[in-house]
């Protein structure tokens, strides 16, 4: 029924006038599936608010494939700790080896894994796949969940079993929020919950997070959500970084029922962002409302386990200008809807063999239109139709075989097929004089495209003894273009500047002839640890990917592009105009992580050293460096816990970024080092956390922060325009505090 509703709602006309925003609608977020038995993988040991007890439904061990050894996990306590410093869930990925985040709005960064960023990393929130509903991707999937709502975030870096998903090449991030908790006894209904308030001095950010559960032995009702508001932040040199303010709220309500090995969960929720500034974009977010419904089922049978889910997610989005940092009037509206289902069966074929088969459907509908601006010759008299009833549907099927050959050897092999159907309607510009030729050329050709993906993966794990692990993995992954990469059509300078989620100040136009990108990735992981995995461990994971038809860009050479910038094809500085194009590319690197318990006794508690290091290199086969590849970086930390008291000091090291995309005139950034402190104490039902980020108030530039398009201006034909050559500065010192009360 949910999928049918998606298809019915998608029939709305493309250029329909935008509905009046209903600012009373709250933000919503979805609850996650219940955690499965963990494979033998190191879990981050971080202090924090404890999770609710897991459901008591019986689950066969190994129903989920053991995650690759290179995968990383953010636990709920770790997410709560990071929520002291940030409300941007994507930034949590930087705590995983190989993880980074492309700078965007305060709660809307784009995750990157092993050098692959943005759409190449697929994100699922409680099994929901949320497509871009903005030409600047201002509403990415991780913006629909606050860090404090996360029960678990798992990142698969390139090599993952085919049962995890399809239509991505760089990695997959699965996020679950507050899994259902049931009462352990039959003594009636029980309640529990946590509410916390926080404040961050830099930007004057403040907000609240809450979770509440009411449950008996077979029924659980859970609410989780939060709200936050922040002003512009200051850099280490005291300058205010304009267009970095934001406000957001996310909420979710779920009800779960378990009976005789079956678990049913239904969830509804939503999001509301009234404003969010973007220092590296020409526009700001001035309205974003998301609503969703999500149903999931898990059943235990004699032969194994069956899982099913279905969802629908709708986004209504508007871009504009937030005064006084940006002024003017140019409304840009988007209405997007996603829906789909997933079916998966795990069959216990023998004591050593487990087979997984499954099927999924994901549908996306998108309308993107820009209303005319009264009195503007350039932006009137018509509505600019950017995407007209865009359609992107994917049907995927997979089969996977996991076998435990001996107590030391395990393998997982699988094949997957996905078919992607894309289409869109005819378009129009603000007027025929400036946009007519491009619109006519686009409307004169067919828009329907069908891409067939054939993917596979193979992992072999060898555990010779209780203290070591070795894993070799290979995967072929395929991703089709998104609707903007394929169907953005205008080469007008203003229109091109409105397209792009890269934060570089350049303009972009789509390409109907784009091919899907195909990544062939190999990774190897070697790990060692003490037998109990409590004292120390060390893991190193080199990787390499060859991507055929990587979707990058070329300089735009049309007459319109050259009229706007005569030097567009050759300019080595300044903002340029680009067309999406296929190129072959190579990415390679290594991730290292480790931890060591330095002391552990009753008198002084436990002291643990941990560290991670990541290096990635990306380059096209024609010698052009790939955009937004994080330079070598490391985190070193000392954590201490004693009873209810926790402390930590962290050193963050980032190397200089000198290998930059020449075709985009990407800017270099110098190296930097930051020191962060935190402490906290818990008394029964009350917990206080304090922290200092960037202790020494260092002034630095964000390697993946893009271009500052707000704080530096030059005189131009439009009066003033953003100046080229300025990176976005990072956040200066911030003193943070949180008070939590549980009941």
Length of the chain counted residue by residue: 743
pLDDT of residue 66: 81
Which numeric CATH code is attached to 2-742? 2.40.170.20
pLDDT (mean) for 643-650: 96
Q: For residue 35, is pLDDT > 80?
A: no
Mean pLDDT of 584-603: 97
What is residue 37's predicted lDDT score, i.e. its pLDDT? 37
Q: Tokens 């929130």 — which residue?
A: 125
Q: Strand, coil or helix: what is 118?
A: helix
Instruction: Provide the 3-class DSSP secondary structure of residue 440.
Output: helix
Among 515, 483, 516, which residue's Cα sits nearest to residue 499?
A: 483
User: Which is more confident, 477 or 376?
Assistant: 477
* Ramachandran quadrant class, 570 (left: phi over 0; alpha: psi -120 to 50; beta: rest): alpha
Amino acid 719: pLDDT: 77
Mean pLDDT for the stretch of residues 47-75:
60
Mean pLDDT of all residues in 393-400: 98
Q: Note the pLDDT tens digit of each residue in 120-139.
A: 999 999 999 999 999 999 99
d(CA 392, CA 447): 12
Q: Is 20 left (phi over 0), alpha (psi -120 to 50) or beta?
A: beta
Please give the average per-residue pLDDT across 11-20, as a whole number.
38
Mean pLDDT of 399-423: 97
* pLDDT of 58: 32
The DSSP call for residue 148 is: G
**599-628: string of b/e by CB count within 10 Å (b at 16+)?**
eeeeeeebbbebbbbbbbbbbbeeebbbbb
Question: Domain spans of the chain?
Answer: 2-742
Band of residue 158 on the pLDDT scale cut at 50, 70, 90: confident
pLDDT at 22: 39
Tokens standing for residue 101? 């985040």
Q: Decide: 410 and 402 in contact? Cβ < 8 Å.
A: yes
Q: Residues 373-395: what's their mean pLDDT?
A: 95
At residue 60, does pLDDT exceed 80? no
Coil/strand/helix, residue 496? helix
Mean pLDDT score of the chain, rounded to an integer? 91
H-helix or E-strand containing 435? helix 432-443
pLDDT classification of 63: cutoffs 50, 70, 90: low
Q: Which of 396, 395, 389, 392 is nearest to 421 (CA)?
A: 392
- CA 61 to CA 654: how far, in whole Å? 41
pLDDT tens digit string along 453-506?
A: 999 999 999 999 999 999 999 999 999 999 999 999 999 999 999 999 999 999
pLDDT average, residue stretch 113-126 = 97
* pLDDT > 70 in the chain, percent: 91
What's the pLDDT score for residue 29? 34
Percent of the chain with pLDDT over 90: 88
pTM for this model (two decimals): 0.91
Contact 507, 492 (CB under 8 A): no
Return the exposure string of 360-378: e unless at least 16 CB atoms fall within 10 Å of the residue's CB, then b: bbbbbbbbbbbbbbeeeee
Going from the C-alpha of 542 to that of each of 173, 282, 588, 620, 659, the distances in angstroms are 20, 38, 8, 20, 20
Tell me what pLDDT residue 485 has.
98
Q: Between 63 and 620, whose confidence is greater?
A: 620
């Amino acid at each position: 029924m949910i999928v049918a509703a998606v298809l019915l709602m998608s029939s709305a006309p493309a250029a329909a006038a935008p509905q009046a925003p209903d600012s009373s609608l709250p933000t919503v977020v979805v609850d996650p599936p219940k955690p499965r038995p963990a494979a033998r993988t190191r879990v981050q040991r971080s202090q924090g608010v404890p999770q609710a007890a897991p459901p008591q439904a019986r689950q066969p061990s190994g129903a989920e494939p053991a995650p690759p050894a290179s995968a990383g996990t953010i636990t709920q306590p770790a997410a709560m700790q990071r929520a002291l410093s940030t409300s941007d869930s994507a930034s949590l990925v930087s705590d995983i080896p190989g993880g980074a985040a492309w700078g965007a709005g305060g709660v809307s960064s784009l995750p990157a894994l092993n050098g692959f960023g943005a759409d190449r990393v697929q994100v699922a929130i409680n099994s929901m796949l949320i497509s871009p509903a903005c030409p600047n991707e201002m509403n990415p999937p991780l913006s629909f969940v606050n860090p404090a709502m996360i029960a678990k975030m798992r990142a698969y870096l390139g090599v993952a079993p085919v049962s995890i998903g399809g239509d991505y090449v760089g990695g997959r991030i699965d996020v679950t929020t507050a899994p259902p908790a049931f009462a352990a006894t039959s003594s009636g209904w029980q309640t529990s919950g946590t509410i916390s308030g926080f404040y961050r001095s830099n930007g004057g950010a403040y907000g609240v997070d809450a979770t509440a559960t009411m449950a008996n032995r077979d029924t659980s009702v859970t609410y989780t959500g939060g709200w936050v508001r922040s002003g512009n932040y200051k850099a280490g040199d005291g300058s205010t970084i304009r267009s970095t303010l934001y406000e957001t709220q996310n909420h979710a309500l779920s009800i779960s029922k378990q009976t005789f090995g079956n678990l049913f969960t239904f969830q509804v929720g939503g999001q509301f962002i009234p404003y969010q500034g973007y220092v590296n974009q020409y526009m700001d977010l001035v309205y974003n409302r998301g609503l969703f419904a999500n149903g999931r089922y898990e059943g235990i049978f004699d032969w194994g386990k069956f899982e099913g889910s279905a969802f629908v997610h709708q986004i209504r989005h508007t871009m504009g200008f937030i005064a006084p940092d940006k002024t003017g009037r140019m409304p840009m509206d988007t209405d997007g809807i996603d829906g789909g289902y997933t079916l998966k069966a795990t069959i216990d074929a023998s004591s050593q063999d487990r087979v997984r088969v499954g099927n999924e459907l994901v549908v996306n509908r998108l309308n993107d239109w820009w209303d005319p601006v009264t009195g503007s010759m350039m932006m009137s008299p018509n509505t600019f139709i950017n995407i007209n009833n865009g359609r992107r549907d994917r049907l995927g099927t997979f089969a996977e075989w996991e076998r435990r050959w001996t107590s030391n050897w395990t393998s997982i092999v699988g094949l997957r097929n996905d078919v992607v159907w894309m289409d869109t309607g005819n378009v129009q510009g603000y007027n025929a004089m400036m946009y007519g030729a491009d619109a006519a050329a686009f409307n004169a050709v067919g828009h329907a495209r069908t891409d067939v993906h054939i993917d596979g993966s193979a992992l072999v794990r060898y555990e010779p003894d209780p203290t070591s692990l070795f894993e070799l993995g290979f995967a072929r992954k395929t991703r089709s273009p998104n609707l903007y990469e394929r169907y953005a059509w205008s080469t007008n300078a203003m229109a091109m500047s409105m397209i792009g989620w890269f934060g570089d100040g350049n303009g972009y136009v789509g390409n109907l002839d784009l091919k899907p990108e195909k990544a062939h990735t190999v990774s190897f992981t070697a790990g060692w640890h003490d037998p109990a995995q409590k004292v120390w461990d060390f893991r190193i994971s080199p990787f390499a990917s060859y991507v055929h038809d990587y979707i990058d860009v070329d300089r735009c050479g049309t007459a319109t592009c050259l009229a706007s910038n005569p030097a567009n094809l050759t300019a080595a500085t300044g903002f340029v105009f680009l067309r999406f194009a296929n190129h072959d590319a190579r990415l390679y690197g290594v991730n290292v992580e480790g931890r060591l318990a330095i002391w552990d006794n009753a008198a002084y508690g436990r002291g643990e050293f941990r560290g991670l290091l990541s290096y990635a290199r990306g380059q096209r086969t024609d010698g052009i460096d790939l955009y937004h590849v994080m330079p070598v970086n490391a985190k070193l930390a000392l954590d201490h816990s004693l009873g209810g008291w926790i402390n930590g000091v962290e050193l963050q090291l980032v190397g200089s970024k000198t290998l930059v995309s020449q075709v985009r005139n990407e800017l270099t950034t110098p190296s930097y080092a930051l020191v962060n402190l935190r402490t906290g104490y818990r008394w029964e039902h009350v917990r206080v956390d304090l922290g200092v980020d960037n202790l020494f108030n260092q002034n630095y530039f964000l390697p993946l922060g893009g271009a500052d398009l707000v704080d530096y201006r030059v005189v131009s034909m439009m009066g003033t325009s953003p100046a080229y050559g300025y990176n976005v500065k990072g956040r200066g010192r911030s003193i943070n505090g949180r008070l939590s009360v549980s009941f």
